[in-house]
Amino acid sequence: MRRIYLDYNASTPIDPAVADAMKPFLEDHYGNPSSGHWAATMARSALETARGQVAALLGCHNDEIVFTSGGSEANNLALKGVFFALCDKGDHIVTTQIEHPAIIEPCRFLERQGARVTYLPVDGSGRIDPDDLRRAITPRTILVSIMHANNEVGTIQPIEDCARIARERGVLFHTDAAQSVGKIPTNVSRLGVDLLSIAGHKAYAPKGVGALFVRRGASIEPLIHGAGHEGGRRAGTESALLAVGLGKACELARDLTPMDRVRALRDHFWKELQKRFGNRVVLNGHPTHRLPNTLNVSFVSRIGAEMLARLDGIAAATGSACHSGRVELSPVLEAMGISPEVGMGAVRFSLGRGTTRAEIDVAVQRLTDVLAAPE
């Protein structure tokens, strides 16, 4: 049985160019980047080159990049870091109901520390209304955190409008861009954000590395205190190995043209499903404001997890891969107001640079076989 990977939103393979760039740091350059002797030189300069590559992708200064262990840590650093730095100025945070658990759970934690959090609702396509944000901000608000693109349905939020509203009110704005890097533009000036999280393993770098953009002048309290690494914002000897991987991946992610082919494949996939199944398939997410690689489809009156179990060899997700294994409606689909009958049959297919037309055609055929078979 041919194996087909359609779960790029869960994780991507490491790009061969990324692996090549990392190899010398696996084998030869072991020095501590902070040391003052010859063994540090290569590691330190590679670390700073990598920082420059991440900064170039985001359109920011090198010193505005803090390396982290991934998207979850970057999100935790943004939320807790701002809260603990600014809690004498205010205690209110605004976010949305459809954030990844790496935002929702730190918010719940901060609520236990005395923060008040507003979770903005979304419409049927998974988008928030900027006017809801405008109404939610109070003089006690210190941070707004709204994800750039949703991991389950791919819906892209109106970040520019939301960030403008926050800026007008003097409130810091964070976006979780774990899913958008390398798929759509993520220039921090154009988006107008003060903080932005990225996750290496969603963008063809290894797991265990990510970064947080922190605009100059925005104060954050570190989560990890120690020696003054990363401009005093994240203690711990940096891994040149992982930073080099992320840097190379970010260099590759500046070219968004591979996404044209991915988008065409994704649209071909959806057209074929519609042709074969008509109104027995429903698209979840925004029809146009959506990541080019993401296709979240409900097979009406089916259970997504059961469908996947019968789709031998096809890697895809129900709900979100980060918390799969459940058959109840995902909180994202629930917030979108999708009925249980439709939402239970949701399957997320996420394509990537390695996806081929032949793979999509095989996936369509296997879906056809599964839906034709008795339940």
Ligand X SMILES: Cc1ncc(COP(=O)(O)O)c(C=O)c1O
> For residue 305, which amino acid is it?
A
Shortest Å, Cβ 150 to ligand X? 7
Q: Which is nearer to ligand X, 273 or 319 (CB)?
A: 319
Query: What tokens were used for 348?
Result: 């997320």
DSSP-H helix ranges across 87-146: 101-112, 130-136
Q: Which residue is nearest to ligand X (CB)?
A: 71
Active centre residues (catalytic): 322
Binding range to ligand X, per CB under 6 A, among 36-44, 172-180, 224-232, 255-263: 172-180
What 3-state DSSP class applies to 133? helix
Among positions 311-370, residues that touch ligand X (CB under 6 A) are 322
Shortest Å, Cβ 196 to ligand X? 11
Among positions 52-111, residues that touch ligand X (CB under 6 A) are 70-72, 75, 100, 102
DSSP string for 7-69? BTTT--PPPHHHHHHHHHHHHT----TT-SSHHHHHHHHHHHHHHHHHHHHHTS-GGGEEEES
Tell me: does residue 266 bind ligand X (CB under 6 A).
no
Query: What tokens were used for 6?
Result: 């359609």
What does DSSP assign to residue 98?
Answer: T
Tell me: does residue 252 bind ligand X (CB under 6 A).
no
Q: Which is nearer to ligand X, 155 or 273 (CB)?
A: 155
Tell me: does residue 183 bind ligand X (CB under 6 A).
no
Phi-psi region of 208 (alpha: psi -120 to 50; beta: other; left: phi over 0): left
What is the rounded distance in angstroms from the CA atom of residue 18 to the CA atom of residue 214?
25
Q: Which is nearer to ligand X, 213 or 281 (CB)?
A: 213
Tell me: does residue 206 bind ligand X (CB under 6 A).
no
Shortest Å, Cβ 27 to ligand X? 25
Binding site for ligand X (CB under 6 A): 70-72, 75, 100, 102, 147, 151, 176, 178-179, 199, 201, 210, 322
